[in-house]
Every structure is written in structure tokens, then in C-alpha cells.
Amino acid sequence: MAHNTELGRHGEQLAAEHLEARGMSVIERNWRCRLGEIDLVARDGEAVVFVEVKTRSGHGYGHPFEAITPPKLARMRRLAIAWCEQSGAHPTRIRIDAIAVTLPRDAPADIEHLEGVS
């Protein structure tokens, strides 16, 4: 478990760097409320982007994106609304993105980014 948590943290770090490199600014990490957790919240121009990051060390158990299921996306939408209410921000547009980070032991990390998945 500890290994996976560490892997996840590392993946989220890489994802945040990836977003910054694409000109977005990360405004929140691991934001929690009683509904659950948002991995990353970033600002992309006028839009606020909620990002679900999935990290895997390999594709033996499937692609990381395959773990983002419709119920998971539905929870993301509820979390996004909760965040807007709690932070008092009234963004003109919001978006939900998914980032898959693959971290093989002996190869460089692979980051895939899907915009507006829900």
C-alpha cells in the first residue's frame, strides 16, 4: 500500500509539472471534502480544470485510463461543484481532465492527458 501511495504522489507531482509546462497554474492539490478528493485543481485561462490523475507502474492490469469509470467521473462532477461552493470562486467555465502517468521501473515516465472527459 505504501508503495502505491508513494507511486501516486510521484505521479501527481509529474502531472502537476506537466500542467504547469502547458501554461496552466495549479491552484490546489489533493483537495478533500466529505465527498472525496480531487487530485489537482488548475486554472487554464478563464477555465478551472479538475484533474484526476491515475498512476500505474505498468499496463499489466490495464491502461490507467481504464480505471477511470463512469461512477468515478460522476463523483468528480459532484466534487467540482463542491469545490466551487467552498472556495467562493465563480469560474466562467469548468472542465474535467484525466491524466494517465505510467512509471515503468526501467524507462522514462509516460504522461497522457485527455481534456474534457465528462
Give residue 64's region: left, alpha or beta (phi > 0; psi -120 to 50): alpha
**Position among 17, 20, 66, 85 found at the interface with other proteins (CB under 8 A):** 66
Site string for other proteins, 69-88 (x = CB under 8 A): ----x---------------
CB of 68 vs other proteins, minimal distance in Å: 5
Residue 50, H or E segment: strand 47-56
- Closer by beta carbon to other proteins, 45 or else 116: 116
Q: Establish if 115 lies at the interface with other proteins (CB under 8 A).
A: yes
- Closer by beta carbon to other proteins, 13 or else 118: 118
- Alpha carbon distance 97, 22 (integer Å): 13
Give φ, ψ of 75 to 5 degrees.
Answer: -65, -35
